[in-house]
Amino acid sequence: MQTHEIRRRFLNHFVAAGHTEVPSASLILNDPNLLFVNAGMVQFVPYFLGAQTPPFVRATSVQKCVRTLDIENVGITTRHNTFFQMAGNFSFGDYFKRDAIAFAWSLLTNSIEDGGYGFDPERLWATAYLDDDEAISLWKEIARLPDERIQKRGMADNYWSMGIPGPCGPCSEIYYDRGPEFGADGGPEADEDRYIEIWNLVFMQNERGQGTSKDNFEILGPLPKQNIDTGMGVERVAFLLQNVANVYETDLVRPVITKAEEVTGRTYGVDHQDDIRFRVIADHARTAAMLIVDGVNPGNDGRGYVLRRLLRRIVRSAKLLGADQPTMGALMTVVRDEMSPSYPELATNFERIENVAVGEETAFRNTLTSGSKLFENAADAVKTKGGNVIGGTEAFALHDTYGFPIDLTLEMAAEAGLTVDEDGFRSLMAEQRKRAKEDAQSRKHAHADLSVYKELVDRGPTEFTGFSELTTEANVLALISGGVRVPTAVQGEDVEVVLDRSPLYAESGGQIADKGSLSATGLRVRVNDVQKIAKKLWVHKVTIEEGQLTEGDVVLAQVDPQWRHGSTQGHSGTHMVHAALRQVLGPNAVQAGSLNKPGYLRFDFNWQGGLSDAQRDEIETVTNDAVGADFQVNTFVTDLPKAKEMGALALFGENYGDEVRVVEIGGPFSMELCGGTHVQHSSQIGPVTILGESSVGSGIRRVEAFVGLDSYRYLAKERALLAGIASSLKVPSDEVPARIEQLVERLRVAEKELDKTKAAAVLASAGTFVDAAERIGAVKLVAASAPEGVSGNDLRSLAVDIRGRFGTDPAVVVLLGNADGKVPFVVAANKAAQDLGIKAGDLVGSFGPSIAGRGGGKADMAQGAGSDPAGIDAGLDAVRNRVVELAGNS
């Protein structure tokens, strides 16, 4: 049975049982505790917590999930994926254990002809929480399971929670016995490779408190309602029904391995280590594609770092399998072809997916090239000292600082006849992971207590009147202070106010909230901010400036008209810049985020590489031409499929409802899904001046601009600045660039001449150093401070010149400089000194600690730099003593 069919049957089964089918949420949700959605129930958390009343009592979904806790173990085990699909059914205070068990059992064991999966019931096992006698009894009654195929397990295995205070409860897991050829008898407790978990039924009935682990937390008491949350692993069911060895060989994953075989020339199933690499490629390619399509871009922290790490592991694995050409485009194409029947967005957005993945591959291949050079330097340093082990610190630095993978370090070390201190490397990695884990744990906290808003949310959404008016008469539904309802608020107090109607825009979609006021006879209230709760309740954060505000009052809610005018200019300007970017750069310049406020806009978009001056100028011109065209701004509400069919742009990773609002400016020029406020005609935006364009992460660029009066003020300021420069240079304004270029060129020539003069003066001092040379045994030693301010290159030239003047006599030159608080140094030893056993590279160790310096080189020449000029004299004494030892031994 194909994976797409497994998904279809699951959803059909539960829809037929009265469940509402809910689409998968984006992998990115606004949850401070989650990097990515990692379970099917995540989008329903507000319902389980009781913060919101669900619009249905039964739901079913197939949720895309990503778990990245043990990326290094992917491919080593054969049942874990970073990306997986979790099919689930949910009850919000409706049915409980009996129906949950019955629904799962019937789907698993019903014949294929009857819409089930056709599993042999004799090969299914169940587990239950230690004291959950009710579940055990139901397994016996409904599934006819004998005692020996029901196992009791403790909290770590069979008691579920989110890991933070919130809903929890005992669970029952369903396992499939693959047979004795896969492991020992004895059920899931004995062997979870033979007995594969395919479904977990969570009986969510309690509330948990604080705790430190999966089985160490306090159970506070029962929830108001008993809920059901289940999760069936689609990939695990697929590999069992398709009778393949593991999840990597199912119909949607194995084609990626086949393509990897083609591009690497290796064969899957021949070598264990190669098989792990093939599985890493297949798993990570799917995960990366799903993350990119939901709006993630490679970066150095958070979600971006996870994506970067996945993509780099693909490149690394392909390289270790023998690929010497780029592979990412081919792999992503296979992922698209196999997964798009269930996730059509992979096809519609494939060009962007490919560009991001290929761009990261190109960058990392360059990193591997530079990393190889760094490795060669480290290997040379080890060999120079007569060693054969690359230290764990060096290996960790290659990995952590330069992104050079440890397995390539190990492979290259072996080729060079060296080994690596793996224990030291692993220890440093463990320390880093521990710090990261502690940091992540410190960021976790209980879900915000929104129960105070629940009754208000249940009453229905706030009526937003701000599209058509700036002043609205409204009823005060509630006052909230410190997380609790209060009856009144008086002058000087800051409170939250919930109204039945409001013209004030609540922050969302990149547009910040309106400023405004609430008023009545004897009452004046300043509105500082407006936020949404549950996407539909407007909460006004206010300061009582005069009088007393009481629940039930009727007030006049008013938007600051000047603020709204500037805000709509900024928001409509954002749409215009987005349209101009797509016109100039093409359809892949897609929004990745925005911020707009009165007079200013910031727009982030997906793009590889910076914009040229010509492109930036063209974007600004196209934007202002559209502004000057005085386009009509039209808004209308339609259903999501119709809006997409019309070509309206949607934001990556955003979850939209069945009905959406479309903002159209100039017909085909700009059409986007948007819930914000806008001007009525494009000319009302006023001039748009792009301030700059920059990178804010791998594959993401940012444009910033002023609009309206702020744009005019900025241009006036720039004009005054140009006039001042023109006056100083005594040229017309249009000749300023050419005159500045002339001045810069003259300065560059003067600096070069000055450098030549300095270099000549340095070299002229060589004779003075030779005359002052010390004789130590047969060796002539120059150990001295160089003239202050001498650069490293000039220092090297001076040392070489001094060394050459000693002819065939054994000579060693050690020069320590002092430039801007740094201590550049050069050590030079001629052939005669080397024959006596004195090597330049070895001498660095004698004086390096004195100046907090590091460096190295070969027998004839070594150089580096320190950071402690106060240690120069001590360093020179140390090198003299070392030369005395060596010359004496010679």
Beta strands, E only, 607-755 = 633-639, 659-665, 670-673, 688-697, 700-707
Assigned token pair, 261:
């075989």
Which value, to the nearest 10 degrees, does the dihedral of the CA atoms of residues 240, 243, 247, 251 take? -110
CA distances to 464, 565, 656 from 530, in Å? 12, 17, 21
Vertex 26 angle, CA 35 and 41, to 5°: 75
Helix (H) or strand (E) holding 328: helix 328-339
168 in a known ligand binding site? no
* 282: helix, strand or coil: helix
Rg, Å, the chain Cα set: 35
| Region of residue 377 (phi > 0: left; psi between -120 and 50: alpha; otherwise: beta) | alpha
Q: Which residues of 726-746 are buried (b: 16+ CB within 10 A; e: fewer)?
A: beeeeeeeeebeeeeeeeeee
Beta bridge partners of 670: 665
Sign of the C-alpha dihedral computed for residues 54, 57, 59 and 64 taken in this order: positive
Helix (H) or strand (E) holding 167: strand 166-177
Are the C-beta atoms of 155 and 214 separated by less than 8 Å?
A: yes
DSSP of 475-487: EEEEEEETTEEES
575 in a known ligand binding site? yes
Are the C-beta atoms of 508 and 514 separated by less than 8 Å?
A: no
Per the listing, tokens 């702020």 go with 710
Assigned token pair, 851:
């100046």
> What separation, in Å, do the N-terminal and C-terminal C-alpha atoms of the chain show?
81
Task: Compute the distance between CA of residue 835 and CA of residue 826 in angstroms, rounded to an integer.
Answer: 20
Query: Which one, of 88, 96, 148, lies nearest residue 122 by Cα?
Result: 148
65 in a known ligand binding site? no
Task: Compute the distance between CA of residue 8 and CA of residue 10 in angstroms, rounded to an integer.
Answer: 5
Question: Which positions make up the binding site for Zn(2+)?
Answer: 571, 575, 674, 678
Pick out the residues of the known binding site: 571, 575, 674, 678
